[in-house]
């Protein structure tokens, strides 16, 4: 899979982004792959994971936010 710059229209910025550039960008650049990168360093590392693992992480974060 080729790397796509974080400025590409494929990337979405988190709706829970704090002020500044400390945000997470998410994209599905290939079937079966979810990619994450930091908006403060869009040319830096791109973390790749499966949709199931991404969904589990988001679900866990939402549960902790609700019960925290």
- Is the predicted pLDDT of residue 67 greater than 70, yes or no? no
6-32 average pLDDT score: 77
The whole-number pLDDT of residue 24 equals 86
pLDDT in tens, 32-54: 999 999 887 877 889 999 999 99
- Is the predicted pLDDT of residue 22 greater than 80, yes or no? no
Domain locations in the chain as residue ranges: 12-67
- Is the predicted pLDDT of residue 7 greater than 60, yes or no? no
Identify the DSSP state of 45.
Answer: -
The whole-number pLDDT of residue 62 equals 87
Q: What is the torsion angle, in degrees rounded to the nearest 10, for the CA atoms of residue 12, residue 14, residue 15 and residue 16?
A: -170
CB 37, CB 11: distance < 8 Å: yes
Cβ neighbour number for residue 35 with a 10 Å cutoff = 21
**Measured distance CA(46)–CA(44) in Å, rounded:** 7
């Amino acid at each position: 899979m080729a790397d796509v710059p974080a400025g590409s229209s494929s990337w979405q910025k988190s709706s829970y982004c704090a002020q500044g550039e400390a945000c997470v960008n998410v994209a599905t650049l290939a079937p079966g792959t979810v990619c994450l990168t930091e908006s403060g360093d869009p040319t830096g590392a791109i973390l790749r994971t499966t949709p199931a693992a991404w969904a589990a992480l988001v679900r866990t974060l939402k549960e902790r936010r609700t019960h925290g």
